[in-house]
Structures are given as C-alpha cells and as structure tokens.
Structure 1
Amino acid sequence: MRKSSLLIVTIAVSGALTLSACGSRGGKSDSGSDSAKGDTKVVIGVDAPLTGKLSALGQGIKNSVDLAVNKANKDKVVPGVTFAIEALDDQANPTSGQQNATKLVGEKDVAGVVGPLNSSVSLTMQKVFNDAHLAQISPANTNPQLSLGPDWGSGKFARPYASFFRTATTDVVQGKFAAQYLFNDAKKTKVYVIDDKKTYGAGLAAIFQEEFKKLGGTVVGTDHVNPDDKDFSAVATKVAAAGADSVYYGGEYPEAGPLSDQIKKAGAAVPLFGGDGIYDDEYIKLSNGNSNGDLATSVGAPVEELDSAKTFIDDYKAANYKDAYAAYGGYSYDAAWSLVEAVKAVVAANGGKVPSDLRQKVIDALGKVSFDGVTGKVSFDEYGDTTNKQLTVYTVKDGKWTAVKSGTYNG
C-alpha cells in the first residue's frame, strides 16, 4: 500500500514559504488561496485518512501535496495558473472515500486528485472519477486489480479505468519480492500466513504465499484476523504450535504491531514480515518492544538515501508540518507534481489558457508525463502503473526500521 520514500525537479522551497495548511489536522487546505490577480485557479484534490488510526500516513500524503502546490505557485511553473488543494478525510473507509470522490467531482476547479491511501477505498472511487473524466493518482495503492483488472491473476490484463494512475508499485512485485527475500536471503522455509481480509492485505498475502511455495517453501498454516481486533491470542497460539520459523502478515500496522507482540508472548520467537502497510514507526510502538528482527517491504528505496530526495526532506522540515511525510510523502509529492506537469503541458498546448475540457486533457497528458522526481524517474505505463519498480526490505533493529536490501523482483 505504504516509511519515508521520495523530484529532482530541483525543489528549492525555502523555509520562508507561507504554508497556510502546515500540519493542520482538518480536511481543508487553503494553499494557493492568495492567487495572483487574474490567474485561473486549478485545484488538486487530496483524499486520505486525515483522522483515525492511519492518520500518520494520511497527514504525510496531504502535507506533501501541499508542499508541491506551494512550490509550483512560488516558481510560477504554469504561467496564468495558481494551484490550490482541497483535502478530504476518508478515515480509511470505502464509503467515505466514495462520498469524497463525488464531492471532488462536483467542484469544477478540481483538475485531478491525489489519493487514496487504501486500495479498498480506491475500489469505490475509481468509477466516480472515471465517469467524470477526473484524473486520480494514488501514492500508495498497491492492489493489482486497480490497474490490471479483476482477471490479472490469470494473466489477462485489462485496464478498468483510464483515469487511474499510481506512483507506488503493485503487490505483484511487492509480494514476490518479499517471498524471495524470506526464502533466499533470510533462509526461512516454514511460514505461517495471516491476513486482515481487506483488499490490500488479502491480496498481498496471496501473492506472497504463491511465490513462497513456488520457491520451495512450506506454508505451515493460514489464518485471518478482523481489522480492529485487539486480541490475537488464538492465532498466536496456532503459530507457536505450527512450528513456523516466520510469519507473513497481509495488513496494516494497527493490527500488525499487537499481533507481533502476542505471537512472541505465545512462545514463537519468529520474525513477522509484512508489506508497506506495516512500515511505519507506529508499528514498533504497538509491538511493545517485541518487534526487533521483524521485517517489512516498502515501495522504492529509502528516501534518506536518495540524492533526489534531499531537497524534499529539507523543505518539508523547513515547512514545519506537525506530522512527518511518512511512508508516502515522496510518492505524494511526485503524484501532485505529475498533475502540475500535466496541467502545464495542457495549458501550453492551448495557447497559454486553461481549456474548458481540462480534466480529460489532463488524463491524456499524464500518460506522457516523464520527469526526475523525489522517488526517482516518474512516468506511467499503458496501465497507469509507475515504471519505477524499486522496493526495499527493512528490519527492526534496536527499535528502529533499518534498510537491509533494495532491488526489484526477478521473475
């Protein structure tokens, strides 16, 4: 789906930027509200969980889009256009996401949307955006169905919605990359697979499981937990009894942290491995000190190690947001900048004016976008998926996430 990854479009935002939404926990941001007189206002929508248990990730998404918008306005990247953002809170709830999509579609100034965080939320939003010819770029969705269609597992790729794009790579890559690392590098051969029954978690766990068995590993047990559960003692006891040397969990950190803690307390001193949904500092806190040695994959290379992200990191700090950019900050900035680049191309091709059919033209332009971003090269393939397939495995060491291997899946 999700710590910190990330345009070498030479971001030179100074600490003097006036950011009206810095660190605010509300859904609305007024960035770009003091637009130049006579400029056309173009809004970039944001949908993410701005409150609730995943708000640490959602706020990072919103703030990073805000930073990109302020950069575009400061440098007058699109002459005659002032960008603003409209950020809505979906609370990681599919119904709320669909309602937010309808609201954003109804606002005529919105030219594109960054979000959401959760693949399950995106499933309810895609058609709403597509019917309105409104571009959607997720910085975090990793479920393959969103871009490849429901039959992707059988090799039948069919893009469901031309309006959907993403800057994060898919679980087809992430799940298999994790399986290869666990079997070939960590030398684990007996894994217990658990998921949270949600679109992201169940899909990721299934892809991992298939690849792990193909490599020669044994799945000694499978189980499911309910999102919002707190007591995992029953499944923890099963893991201990199964003789597993590792656990793979498809889901997110609010449940994964306590699950890891309770598995250790049940007597199974084995690492829990998960996807980008658990790669957040909150996971370590929620595991009560029992996560050392646990593993997670996350999209891209560690942002702190990317030369292309240095300015982003400095500018984000200078902006004094209350929340960290977290796992998807760089991908959110790149998603927003993709929309800026698309609007720039459309306006230039229309004699310097915003066309009446801006939304459809932005979708068309996104397919041709290509620039050096925070997270590396930013461009999209024929399915709207990012062409950047980089992934990193992290482990918890001394209470902190530490990168141990970066690369791409070799099929």
Structure 2
Amino acid sequence: MRKSSLLVVTIAVTGALTLSACGSRGAKSGSENAGGTTKVVIGVDAPLSGKLSALGLGIKNSTDLAVKKANKENLVPGVTFALESKDDQGNPNTGGQNATALVGMKDVVGVVGPLNSSVSLTMQKIFSDGKLTQISPSNTTPDLSLGPDWTSGKYTRPYPTYFRTATTDLVQGRYAAQYMFNDAKKTKVYVLDDKKTYGAGLAAIFQDEFKKLGGTVVGTDHISPDDKDFSAVATKVASSGAEAVYYGGEYPEGGPLSDQIKKAGAKIPLMGGDGLVDPEFIKLSNNNSEGDLATSVGAPVEQLDSAKAYIADYTAAGYKDGYSAYGGYSYDAAWSIIQAVKAAVEHNGGKVPDDLRTKVLAEMAKVSFTGVGGQVSYDQYGDTTNKQLTVYTVKGPDWKPIKTGTYTG
C-alpha cells in the first residue's frame, strides 16, 4: 500500500541529511551495554497517531515482538536488540525528517517501514546515502523498487537499500481485475481514486487490466481525502450503469464512500486494495458495506501454520492494539534485519563488525527463512519473492477471505 501525496523535502532537511549521512558512515554501529553485549537498534517508521494509526501501531508492535524474541532466544550471542520508533503520521515530509534522524543514530542498522508508499519516496535516498537498510511491510507502489519507467517494461532498482515484504500493485491491481471480471462476473465498472500516489497508481493498473480482459470502464473520477461528502460522485456512479466500483485509496475515505454510493441507489459492491482491509472501513461505512471486496498482500495469517506462533506470542505480549493487516509482514521485515545481523556477526568470527550497518545491507540479499507469511526472501529489485494475494469480502462486522492466489498473465 500506500501512499499519501508526495511532498517535497525541504532544503533544510536535505542539508541535515547530508551532514548526518556523511557523519554516520565511518561510525561504529552498536554501543556497549552494561552486561558486555553490543546494543543493536532496529528502527520503525509508521503512522503511530492519526487516522491510519490502527495500521501503524500493528507495524510497531510486531517489530517490537521480533526484537523481544531475538533477545529472549539470544539469537545473536553478544548482541542485545533494541527498538527506536518514529511517528510519521502518514506525512511524507515528517517521514523524511524521521529518516534523517534514524540515519544519524549510529546504533540503528535497519528500519521497518513506512506504511505509506509516498512516505517511502521521501525516505529512500536518505537511507541509501546513509547505507541503512529499509524494509517496508506495506508499500506496494512499483516505482519504489522498479524505477519510474516500469510501465514501459524497463525495470531499474533506484536504491540498493530498499526492500519490502509486501508484493506490488503491479500484481495486486491486475489480480483484482482478474477476480472482478472472471470470478465476480462484473463487466461494467466505475473507477475512482483519491489522487494519492498509492490510490491513483493502483486504480490505473486495475483499469488497464480490466479493459484487457474485455471489461468496460463506464466512468472514472477522483475524490479528495479532505472531503466527507461524496454525494456528487455517488450520484454519477448510480446513474452510470456500473455493476461494481473500483476504488484506489484507503479506508478512512473508502468506508464513507461505499456508504454514500449505496445510499445514492447503487446497490453494487465497492472493491479496492489492501488500503481498505481494516475493521474501521466497515465502521466508517455505517455497516453499509456488506459484500464489498478488497485485495491484500499474502495469505491471511490466521490460516497459516507458519503464523500460529506469531499470533500466540502477540496475544501473550498483551499489546493494546491488534496486529492489523501488516503485522505479520512487519515481523518478517524485522526478522530479516535480525537474520542479516546474525550472518554479519558470524562472518566476522562471532564479533560485531565495526561497520555493522554496511555488513547488514550486504547480507540482506541473501536472507531466506520461513516467516509468518511463508517463505521470506528478496529478488534482485529488493521485492519479496512471495507474490500471493488474498481477496476479502465484508460479511457482517468483519472482512472474510474468499480466495488466495496470484496474478497469472
């Protein structure tokens, strides 16, 4: 997922980045703890407050859970892991400032996050300049790993520090179109988006694939995330003859949008991407979203044998907030960094290398293990090799999985 509109990083932030990035390169990663172990920090950046905090807190808590497990098991002898969390509030400019701060902390060897793809766009160069590994559990925009020309089939990895455990919208949008046309048997769709990077990109990919399959897009439009009244576009949808709506966006607007479309007389399903899969969508729709659809990354963790221990440990830890849509993939992102630290120490004769941050980055491409969401490894672009997606539908007060698979082109 996820993107808010891209904001320009200020000159002041860029200047601070240059200073902190240069200052961190020669610094020793890790500091001595009282017990004689080396403290190694894993950073987290996510919206920990604001309207997307339900997702952000699941990311933070799951990363914290991985850190605690690594310490409890003494997974890397001589190393004590710690957590440093930053709240970006879903704001790209704040995310850039957080990235600069994390790069400047010499003990930080990797960062889990952010939630939003647009926030990543402001962070990537900062992390790259600081040689700091970044792994997002939820970014889905192809540009982040495949470069700006991916639509023409030219894939170029922009930054070697960027990885993700979520598959991209290139797969998600096409898979959603296949489901809509082949499984749901809808041939006429109205396409909407929130004008943000994530939403607009996802909607465009869906629309292109839906047309290729033989479907008809009866109308397109945009909404503003700052609005609460979507009655005008809801009226357009109701008079268009659409059999379904595809919405590229997130649940804070998606829920009310679904509600207002149905109240306008269009008793048709609204479908979207992983940005909708949260119980808040249903609440915000005034429980008027029965039968709505959405895709989300991976298979539902509740159905995976590989996730049983994670779910049990998360529950036992007593976190106030649920693990939400990206918890399992956040845990896998944090565990990837931990595994890279383990390999770097082992390859240095059991001692923490002075340039641990650089060594962790070098080990990331070789990371491979069975994680919460299944097999975890990364391709030459830093993307997950796990391309599974799941279609969910609203049944009563919950999202229920109805099909897991991947795009077949």
TM-score where L is the length of structure 2: 0.92
Q: For residues 256 and 88 of structure 2, what CA distance do their matches in structure 1 show?
A: 24
Q: For residues 227 and 321 of structure 2, what CA distance do their matches in structure 1 show?
A: 26
TM alignment of 1:224-243, pairs within 5 A:
224-243=222-241
Letter in structure 2 aligned against 1:179 = A
Q: 1:78 aligns with which of 52, 76, 79?
A: 76
Does the aligned pair in 2 maintain the 1:36–1:82 contact within 8 Å?
Answer: no
Letter in structure 1 aligned against 2:221 = D
Does the aligned pair in 1 maintain the 2:279–2:397 contact within 8 Å?
Answer: no
Q: Deviations over 1:52-100 (max 9, x none)?
A: 0000000000000000000000001011000001000000000000000
> What SS class does the counterpart of residue 192 from structure 2 fall into?
strand
Please name the residue that 2:386 is paired with.
Answer: 388
What percentage of residue pairs aligned between the two structures are identical?
76
Please name the residue that 1:157 is paired with.
Answer: 155
> Deviation at 1:351?
1.3
Q: For residues 174 and 216 of structure 1, what CA distance do their matches in structure 2 show?
A: 18
TM-score where L is the length of structure 1: 0.92
Letter in structure 2 aligned against 1:217 = G
Letter in structure 2 aligned against 1:79 = P
Please name the residue that 1:103 is paired with.
Answer: 101
Letter in structure 2 aligned against 1:368 = K
Does the aligned pair in 1 maintain the 2:32–2:39 contact within 8 Å?
Answer: no
Q: 1:203 aligns with which of 196, 201, 212?
A: 201
Does the aligned pair in 1 maintain the 2:58–2:322 contact within 8 Å?
Answer: yes
Q: Deviations over 1:95-144 (max 9, x none)?
A: 00000000000100000000000000000000000001000000000000
Q: For residues 36 and 114 of structure 1, what CA distance do their matches in structure 2 show?
A: 27
Does the aligned pair in 2 maintain the 1:339–1:362 contact within 8 Å?
Answer: yes
> What SS class does the counterpart of residue 222 from structure 1 fall into?
strand
Q: Deviations over 1:198-226 (max 9, x none)?
A: 11111100000000000000000001111
Q: 2:263 aligns with which of 262, 265, 270?
A: 265
Letter in structure 2 aligned against 1:299 = V
Q: 1:249 aligns with which of 241, 247, 250?
A: 247
Aligned residues: 382
Q: Deviations over 1:170-211 (max 9, x none)?
A: 000000000000000000011000011111111100000000
Please name the residue that 1:364 is paired with.
Answer: 362
Does the aligned pair in 1 maintain the 2:42–2:109 contact within 8 Å?
Answer: yes
Please name the residue that 1:189 is paired with.
Answer: 187
The RMSD of aligned alpha carbons is 1.3
> Deviation at 1:377?
0.2
1:60 aligns with 2:38: no
> Deviation at 1:228?
2.5
Q: For residues 32 and 389 of structure 2, what CA distance do their matches in structure 1 show?
A: 39
Please name the residue that 1:10 is paired with.
Answer: none
Please name the residue that 1:45 is paired with.
Answer: 43
Higher relative contact order (CA 8 A, sep 6+): 1
Q: Deviations over 1:259-316 (max 9, x none)?
A: 0000000010010000000000000000001100000000011111000001100110
> What SS class does the counterpart of residue 288 from structure 1 fall into?
coil
> Deviation at 1:242?
0.7
Where in structure 1 are there 5+ consecutive unaligned residues? 3-32
Q: For residues 317 and 79 of structure 1, what CA distance do their matches in structure 2 show?
A: 27
Please name the residue that 1:94 is paired with.
Answer: 92
Please name the residue that 1:346 is paired with.
Answer: 344
Does the aligned pair in 2 maintain the 1:50–1:58 contact within 8 Å?
Answer: yes
